[in-house]
Structure 1
């Protein structure tokens, strides 16, 4: 199923181009609805953006919501998260909304002190992530996601991508100030995208299990990677080989909280 969907994504010729200039030309009422607690002077606040991008299957909306809840608890970020998803009937996470949400975070955080954390969950292909709503379909490329991170203005950034082939984002975007965690290597599928499920395999292992007991992201990732690999081997799947890259300065910064 995942390989079939990935091949379908290859046929989508539209890339959303989430540059600041392009986003500014797209009307959006979503920015007016975002409500975020202000930055606390002297504190390192973590602002969370969690998006379920593939509307035809409810697992991605469920995972985006669940990931945000767990991360809010991990980083004491209640009131500092935005969660939006596409569904079969609602375009809650279109290209304009994603950029508007990131800019909304940028208006309240301290760019040199706070952390912007973006979660993206969808089907994936080597070109990027599927962004599919009732009236919009396309591919969110690493360049698009880089623009999304940049729009927050944050010096310290975290990107977590749950999708097939999501390692392409680690290859393209990881650096000392950008921690990238992905559900799969750039050449591997990930699993668990059944409609009606609560989590994908990686989402369950990382958010639902590991982060509830381990607050360091790198340690939680190591635990989740083992859990995912064991499950995939047990069920006869080729291991997805989740990735973690970059972020040395981010992890150091968070350790001081």
Structure 2
């Protein structure tokens, strides 16, 4: 099969992709999550240049228009990338390669492992934050090889596994085997557009991907015995995830209240407000995740006031024991110097 998207093959590829997706969905390969799931939607433009919202009320593509939508997606598919079908079928091997690069845990102390999930392939900001978290873990927190990056982006179709429901489950399965689930800390960072129904956009058109919602993410995490977790959801309306994700041993951070948008995405942006304030500014000022959140919330509020935006009001829930666990980890972690943010290239 050719490695380039030959225009003469687009119709055939679209047909094969749709057929393969239908078969796989039927036998349950694509989805290991519970019902109900938020229906898959097409990429949605943010309501404002800086808001990271994907309105839940947006109409899905009508069946008669699906072929047109698929052709449009293929027209924007990078010509130097594998075809959508090749990317789709290569995911098990992509995950195997990514997991093989993870470093073993350091015995005798608490380790932190991160999973970055950049879910919307239509904008650079989410990929930038996932890649920056990888850099931050290696250089700031002295944990190279402790980050698994799943991302949807045209530039990484051959180098990173897709951010998908299936890969998220597989990634957590792999981390559970490398980590000590009772001793180590899982950091999950999710960045994408969010809808006012608290669904998260998971998209790399024209590849069919299931969406994530609070019930689905909670179910995925509930299948894994990670005692200590830091769960970060950077998306509009992400406060809607707090009730489902909070619990003993868990720190939950979100970029917005359940009924508010957050800001900083768009084609002209390299990083979201929350990504800048918590990842880049907060965690470079302090290795304390909770203190960094307080700093980030104040910084975001100042930016929103300056720009006359409705406050996003980032949310936090500190479960019993996690603050003390993070403090114990910091005492023995090899904290390095600040790492300036740079956009992925």
- For 1:131, which of 156, 181, 202 is the aligned residue? 202
CA distance in 2, matches of 1:211, 1:84: 21
The offset of 1:247, in angstroms, is: 2.9
The answer on whether the counterparts of 1:105 and 1:152 sit within 8 Å (CA) in structure 2 is no
Question: Which 4+ runs in 1 deviate beyond 6 A?
Answer: none
Q: 2 CA distance for matches of 1:239 and 1:199?
A: 18
Q: CA offsets, 1:225-253, max 9 Å, x none?
A: 00001101101110100001133312211
| Residue 48 (str. 1) matches residue 120 (str. 2) | no
Question: Do structure 1's residue 122 and structure 2's residue 192 form an aligned pair?
Answer: yes
Structure 2 residue corresponding to 1:156, chosen from 198, 203, 228: 228
Counterpart Cα distance in 1 of 2:137 and 2:58: 32
1:137, distance to aligned residue in structure 2 (A): 4.3
Deviation at 1:215, TM superposition (A): 1.0
Superposed, which structure 2 residues align to 1:79-158 within 5 Å?
Answer: 79-88=145-154, 90=157, 92-125=162-195, 126-134=197-205, 135-158=207-230
In 2, distance between residues paired with 1:104 and 1:94? 15
- Given candidates 30, 34, 46, the residue that maps to 1:2 is 46
Maintained 8 Å contact 2:137/2:146: no
Residues 166 and 185, structure 1, Cα contact 8 Å, conserved in 2: yes
Q: Structure 1 243/12 Cα, relative in aligned 2: closer, same or farther at 3 Å?
A: farther
Uncovered stretches (5+) of structure 2, i.e. residues with no partner: 1-44, 62-90, 330-345
1:207-246 → structure 2 map (5 Å cutoff): 207-246=279-318
- Distance in 2 (CA, whole Å) between partners of 1:30 and 1:9 is 34
Shift of 1:152: 4.4
Superposition TM-score, scaled by structure 2 size: 0.66
Q: Which moved more, 1:67-76 or 1:162-171?
A: 67-76
Alignment of 1:177-196 (within 5 A): 177-196=249-268
Q: For 1:46-85, what aligned pairs fall within 5 Å after superposition?
A: 46-85=112-151
Contact 2:114 2:188 in 1 (8 A): yes
Q: Greater share of strand residues, 1 or 2? A: 1
What is the root-mean-square deviation of aligned Cα atoms in Å?
A: 2.2
**Which 5+ residue runs of structure 1 have no aligned equivalent?**
14-26
Shift of 1:120: 0.3
Shift of 1:9: 6.7
Secondary structure in 2 matching 1:47: strand
Corresponding position of 2:244 = 172
3-state secondary structure, aligned to 2:232: strand
Identify if the C-alpha distance between structure 1 residues 98 and 11 changes in structure 2 by more than 3 Å, giving closer, same or farther: farther
1:151, distance to aligned residue in structure 2 (A): 4.5
Aligned match for 1:204, one of 258, 272, 276: 276
Q: Equivalent residue for 1:23? A: none
Q: Does structure 2 retain, via aligned residues, the 8 Å contact 1:61–1:85?
A: yes
Evaluate the alpha carbon distance shift between residue 114 and residue 214 of structure 1 in structure 2; reply closer, same or farther with a 3 A threshold. Answer: same
Task: Find the structure with the greater CA-based Rg.
Answer: 2
Larger mean Cα displacement after TM superposition, 137-146 or 58-67: 137-146
Measure the CA separation in 1 of the matches of 2:268 and 2:222.
33
Deviations 1:103-148 (A, max 9, x none): 1101111111001110000000123211011212442011221233
